[in-house]
Structure 1
Amino acid sequence: MQQPFVELLQANARHADEFQSKFDDVQDSQRPEVVTVCCSDSRVLQDRMWENDEPGRIFTCGNIGNRVVQQTESGTVVSGDVLYPIEHTGTNVAVVVGHTGCGAVTATYDALTDGVSELAGIEHCLDLLKPQLEPGLELLPDDVDRAGSINRLVEYNVDRQVEFLRESDDVPDDVEVVGVVYDFQDVYSGRRGEVHVINVDGETDVETLRDDNPEVDSRIERLWEY
């Protein structure tokens, strides 16, 4: 075995020592409070960003581009990864987690603007993002550089994923859908590793969101309102 995996096993042994009793209440079932849909970028610490060390609390999904959509024979539907906890475990909060410098958004941007192609498996994922992102290209400000365009499209993608969940008949109306961006590039005004709320149930106006959510008003921030 290569050393990186050996080190993972060693870390897992320490994890098992610490978590022996933490699985007592979730041996036979789970009732996660939240389902998160994160980008599967190695820099996005999907549980660690919430300081989560409680098994059964967060149902975590990951894919490139933090997508909630899945293509089936009957068309585009909410991904089963996201829908399962909502349908079967009583989860009533869904959080779409984008992140600064997203590679999937970058690759989709390049595919749409320059016709750059990828390997078939990656291309399939990008094809699910392209319809979500393409309308946003025309809305980009003229005075932002490539990095600024990518990070604005990160927000745009989160908005579209939130919108898809809100409009789906498969997601009950009482499920709250929140869109956030995880920043490790000093793009937003907070510290590296902070999550910034950009969308709650389709509402994207920063001042409205701050008025409606005063307990977290300092964490509500957007790069653009198109």
Structure 2
Amino acid sequence: MDETFLTMLERNADHADAFEERFDGLVHEQHPEAVTVSCSDSRVLQDGIWGNDEPGWLFTCGNIGNRVVQRTDAGPRVSGDVLYPLAHTGTDVAVVVGHTGCGAVTATYDHLTDGLSEPPGIEHCIDLLAPGLASGVERLPDELTREAAVNHLVEYNVDRQVEFLLESEDVPDSVEVLGVVYDFQNAYDGKRGEVHVINVDGETDPTTLRETYPEIASRVERRWTY
């Protein structure tokens, strides 16, 4: 048996000891306060970045590229795992969480600029991101380093996912949609591991966001205004 899995089981035993009583009241229903859509990168701890160890508080979704879009017979629609809490559990906050150095954004950038060959499953994910990022690649400032270009597009991708949620008829109008970037590269001013707010209900101008939401003014920061 692989040692990694044995370690996982040991940690789960500790988890069960600590959490055995924390599921009271949650056995048959859930009413999370927010749904988060994060990248499934191992460096992005979906609950940990919010300091969450409370079952039932957050509905966490993860995929490469923090996508909210899926293909259906009726065309592109909000992914069911994101939509479920908004439609069925009374959740009225959706947070799209991008991150610096995103591999999915990098792969999509390479696909749009130089072409890229990946296994079909990964190509499918890139194909879902590419339509939104194509215009961003065209608008990138000249003479950016590769790393800077990717991190500019990380913000652009978050904006496109927020936009898709806001424009969807399936998402209730009462839902507040926010876009943030989790930084572990020191690409923003602040500590590694901080979340920076870049989008609130489609508003992306940092000055406007700080004036409108003074309680989060210190957490608003963008690398790219376009």
Q: Same fold (TM over 0.5)?
A: yes
Query: What is the aligned-residue identity percentage?
Result: 69
Q: Report what 1:2 is aligned to.
A: 2
User: Given residue 190 of structure 2, which amino acid in structure 1 is its aligned partner?
Assistant: G
Tell me, which stretches of 5 or more residues in structure 1 are unaligned? none
After TM superposition, list the pairs within 5 Å mapping 1:84-123 onto structure 2: 84-123=84-123
Question: Does 1:24 pair with 2:21?
Answer: no
Q: Which whole-Å CA distance do the structure 2 matches of 1:180 and 1:117 have between them?
A: 29
Q: Which whole-Å CA distance do the structure 1 matches of 2:212 and 2:82 have between them?
A: 26
Question: Does 1:203 pair with 2:203?
Answer: yes
Question: Cα RMSD over matched residues?
Answer: 0.5
Q: Report what 2:189 is aligned to.
A: 189
Q: Report what 1:220 is aligned to.
A: 220
Deviation at residue 143 of structure 1 after TM alignment: 2.9
Q: Which whole-Å CA distance do the structure 2 matches of 1:96 and 1:117 have between them?
A: 27
Q: Which whole-Å CA distance do the structure 1 matches of 2:215 and 2:15 have between them?
A: 33
Deviation at residue 32 of structure 1 after TM alignment: 0.2
Per-residue CA deviation, residues 117-170 of structure 1 (Å, 9 max, x unaligned), is: 100000001000000100101110103111000000000000000000000000
Q: Which whole-Å CA distance do the structure 2 matches of 1:83 and 1:47 have between them?
A: 19
Aligned partner of residue 26 in structure 1, secondary structure: coil
Tell me, which stretches of 5 or more residues in structure 2 are unaligned? none
Q: Which whole-Å CA distance do the structure 2 matches of 1:80 and 1:52 have between them?
A: 23
After TM superposition, list the pairs within 5 Å mapping 1:161-180 onto structure 2: 161-180=161-180
Per-residue CA deviation, residues 1-31 of structure 1 (Å, 9 max, x unaligned), is: 2000110110011111111111002111000
Deviation at residue 72 of structure 1 after TM alignment: 0.8
Aligned partner of residue 178 in structure 2, secondary structure: strand
After TM superposition, list the pairs within 5 Å mapping 1:46-61 onto structure 2: 46-61=46-61
Q: Which whole-Å CA distance do the structure 2 matches of 1:38 and 1:60 have between them?
A: 8
Q: Which whole-Å CA distance do the structure 2 matches of 1:11 and 1:119 have between them?
A: 33
User: Given residue 87 of structure 1, which amino acid in structure 2 is its aligned partner?
Assistant: A
Per-residue CA deviation, residues 13-60 of structure 1 (Å, 9 max, x unaligned), is: 111111111100211100000000000000000000000011000000
* TM-score (ref. length: structure 2): 0.99
Per-residue CA deviation, residues 149-207 of structure 1 (Å, 9 max, x unaligned), is: 00000000000000000000001111000000000000000100000000000000001
Per-residue CA deviation, residues 69-95 of structure 1 (Å, 9 max, x unaligned), is: 000111000000100000000000000
* TM-score (ref. length: structure 1): 0.99
User: Given residue 15 of structure 1, which amino acid in structure 2 is its aligned partner?
Assistant: H
User: Given residue 205 of structure 2, which amino acid in structure 1 is its aligned partner?
Assistant: D
Q: Report the count of equivalent residues.
A: 226
Q: Report what 2:39 is aligned to.
A: 39
Q: Which whole-Å CA distance do the structure 1 matches of 2:165 and 2:117 have between them?
A: 28
User: Given residue 95 of structure 1, which amino acid in structure 2 is its aligned partner?
Assistant: V
Aligned partner of residue 25 in structure 2, secondary structure: helix
